[in-house]
């Protein structure tokens, strides 16, 4: 099947063709580090991770960049409120962000540029725009003149004749119903405290939009393949990125724009006032499996709104347990019957998986293909109609699938204490001797200690409960 992605710029699915053969350069909008990231933020991170993983699965060489916004209106406001330096404040939340990525098994990208470390590149870009007549100096900032860029609105499909001529906005985020000239460089005022840079542009700091253009072009070049982010960034942020980048270079900035939809909680917009606002850490405190959280945030197609519920979280946890148990069965399986049908089932599963992912990362169909595969192989295991070599081949494919999905790698069993191990062995001995009363008694004792025992054809299994 042809590999297709939905390009927001063209409003349609297009065959993916990289700019340089075999090499994909990709930029993902990263966090503004002023607080803990919430689960809506992590939907975007997990989507970009899925794209990254599948490109690698397909054999592309990948250069992936994700920015860290460590200077903007919010970081300055909140660091001043706390009475700490901007660096001290943003380093703390940057550290939390990376911890959360690791918890969700999100792969590290190649470069995480910080805005405060790329002021020189931003200044040069603003100077370029001034020289070419796309930017102008006002009393409070240097602004980009959207009327001067004839293609302004092509990503968000705003009509240029509806734009407010001459209207300006210095805020990083603003009314999304109207387009304005936007600040590229903000001159220092007392609200910025000690956050400023002395530059050829004057004493001040960058606007939010210029940061991504400067950093992406530094590491990926003036034109690159993929830019990801949430739909909330289409306008104004990504629209402004295109305008300032293409005005400066005269080249197409990004070939494919991929945007994930919003996340809802219980069919409502997530907000603190409704009590349905969750960070990853809020869910971990409730003892939810982080891989189940990843599963839920990934399992709905990225261009559909995701309705996050605790029921879906429980279902995801059960789905992952099924996969874990399947992998354990395969690992322990020692059948002797070579079965040519296994190779056919493996080939079909691989094709179904790739066809779904090639169709604009259709992960819900991908997961269905994986569970159909599990069901087919489980039948063969139950009837002892495959060999241990067949099992190894199935494990190999499952690991290949998981190199894309990333839902099993973090599932490491906790070590049992010596006391628990002895109780399990004692119960096994009781069952061997057909002392069912003693076996049941030990089972209850283990349950009280937080261990559930399952007797299967492949032997005894255990699971820890909270």
Cα gap 239→144, rounded to integer Å: 12
| Exposed/middle/buried for residue 461 (C-beta within 10 Å: 0-12, 13-18, 19+) | middle
Per-residue pLDDT, averaged over 56-67, amounts to 98
Percent of the chain with pLDDT over 70: 95
Q: Name the pLDDT band for 163 (thresholds 50, 70, 90).
A: low
Half-sphere exposure of 275 (CA within 13 A, CB side): 0
Degrees, nearest 5: CA angle 382-387-393: 105
Q: Quote the strand ranges of 201-283, DSSP E.
A: 202-206, 224-230, 254-260, 263-265, 268-269
Residue 410: per-residue pLDDT: 47
Comparing CA positions, the residue from 361, 27, 364 lying closest to residue 221 is 27
Residue 102: per-residue pLDDT: 96
Listed ranges 178-187, 249-258, 271-280, 405-414; the one with the highest mean pLDDT: 249-258
For the record, the structure tokens of 396 come out as 């190999």
Q: Partners of 359 in the beta sheet?
A: 4
Cα gap 15→3, rounded to integer Å: 6
Cα gap 329→381, rounded to integer Å: 8
| Exposed/middle/buried for residue 161 (C-beta within 10 Å: 0-12, 13-18, 19+) | exposed
Residue 32 scores a pLDDT above 60: yes
Residue 162 scores a pLDDT above 80: no
Residue 303 scores a pLDDT above 70: yes
Q: What is the pLDDT of residues 213-236, one digit of tens each?
A: 999 999 999 999 999 999 999 999
Q: Partners of 137 in the beta sheet?
A: 142
Residue 466 scores a pLDDT above 60: no
Residue 174: per-residue pLDDT: 66
Listed ranges 222-226, 271-275, 335-339; the one with the highest mean pLDDT: 222-226
453 vs 135 pLDDT, higher one: 135
Strands 202-206, 224-230: parallel, antiparallel or unpaired by DSSP? unpaired
Q: Partners of 32 in the beta sheet?
A: 69
Which is the CATH superfamily of the domain at 12-260? HUPs (3.40.50.620)
Residue 178: per-residue pLDDT: 73
pTM equals: 0.88
Q: Specify the long-range contacts of residues 174-181, CB closer than 8 Å, at least 24 apart.
A: 174/236, 176/235, 176/236, 179/146, 179/152, 179/153, 179/235, 179/236, 179/239, 180/146, 181/143, 181/144, 181/145, 181/146
Q: Which segment of 153-162, 167-176, 295-304, 332-341 scores lowest on mean pLDDT?
A: 167-176
Percent of the chain with pLDDT over 90: 80
DSSP 8-state class, residue 387? B
Cα gap 89→34, rounded to integer Å: 7
- DSSP structure string for 49-71: HHHHHHHHHTT-EEEEEE-BB-S
> How high does pLDDT run on average in the chain?
93
Cα gap 370→353, rounded to integer Å: 7
Q: What is the pLDDT of residues 183-210, one digit of tens each?
A: 999 999 999 999 999 999 999 999 999 9
Residue 419: per-residue pLDDT: 85
Q: Name the pLDDT band for 411 (thresholds 50, 70, 90).
A: very low
Q: What is the pLDDT of residues 419-448, one digit of tens each?
A: 888 888 889 888 888 898 998 898 888 888
Comparing CA positions, the residue from 230, 232, 122 lying closest to residue 183 is 122
CATH fold of 268-405, please?
A: Isoleucyl-tRNA Synthetase; Domain 1 (1.10.730)
For the record, the structure tokens of 362 come out as 């259709």
- The enclosing H or E element of 93 equals helix 86-103
């Amino acid at each position: 099947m042809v590999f297709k992605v939905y390009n927001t710029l063209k409003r349609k699915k297009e065959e993916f063709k990289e700019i340089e053969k075999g090499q994909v350069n990709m930029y993902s909008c990263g966090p503004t580090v002023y607080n803990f990231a919430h689960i809506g933020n992590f939907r975007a991170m997990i989507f970009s991770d899925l794209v990254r993983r599948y490109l690698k699965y397909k054999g592309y060489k990948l250069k992936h960049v994700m920015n860290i916004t460590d200077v903007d209106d919010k970081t300055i406001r909140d660091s001043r409120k706390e009475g700490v330096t901007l660096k001290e404040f943003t380093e703390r939340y940057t550290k939390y962000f990376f911890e959360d990525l690791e918890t969700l098994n999100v792969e590290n990208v190649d470069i995480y540029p910080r805005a405060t470390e790329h002021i020189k590149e931003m200044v040069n870009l603003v100077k370029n725009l001034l020289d070419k007549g796309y930017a102008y100096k006002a009393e409070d900032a240097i602004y980009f003149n959207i009327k001067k860029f004839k293609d302004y609105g092509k990503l968000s499909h705003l009509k240029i004749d509806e734009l407010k001529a001459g209207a300006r906005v210095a805020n990083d985020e603003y009314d999304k119903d109207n387009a304005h000239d936007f600040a590229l460089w903000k001159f220092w005022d007392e609200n910025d405290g000690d956050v400023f840079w002395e530059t050829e542009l004057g004493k001040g700091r960058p606007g939010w939009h210029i940061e991504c253009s400067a950093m992406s072009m530094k590491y990926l070049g003036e034109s690159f393949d993929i830019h990801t982010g949430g739909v909330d960034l289409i306008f104004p942020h990504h629209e402004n990125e295109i305008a300032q980048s293409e005005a400066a270079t005269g080249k197409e900035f990004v070939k494919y724009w991929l945007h994930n939809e919003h996340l809802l909680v219980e069919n409502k917009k997530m907000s603190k006032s409704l009590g349905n606002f969750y960070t990853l850490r809020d869910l971990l405190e409730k003892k939810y499996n982080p891989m189940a959280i990843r599963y839920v945030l990934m399992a709905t197609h990225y261009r559909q709104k995701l309705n996050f519920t605790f029921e879906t979280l429980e279902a995801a946890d059960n789905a992952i347990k099924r996969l874990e148990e399947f992998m354990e069965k395969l690992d322990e399986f020692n059948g002797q019957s070579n079965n040519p049908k296994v190779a056919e089932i493996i080939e079909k599963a691989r094709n179904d998986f790739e066809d779904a992912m090639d169709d604009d990362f259709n992960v819900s169909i991908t997961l269905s293909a994986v569970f159909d595969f599990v069901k087919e192989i489980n039948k063969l295991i139950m009837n002892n109609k495959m060999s241990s070599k067949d099992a190894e081949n199935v494990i190999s494919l499952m690991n290949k699938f998981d190199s894309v999905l990333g839902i099993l790698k973090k599932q490491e069993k906790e070590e049992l204490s010596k006391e628990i191990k002895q109780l399990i062995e004692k119960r096994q001995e009781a069952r061997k001797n057909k002392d069912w009363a003693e076996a049941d008694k030990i089972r209850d004792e283990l349950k009280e200690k937080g261990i559930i025992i399952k007797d299967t054809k492949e032997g005894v299994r255990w699971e820890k409960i909270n």
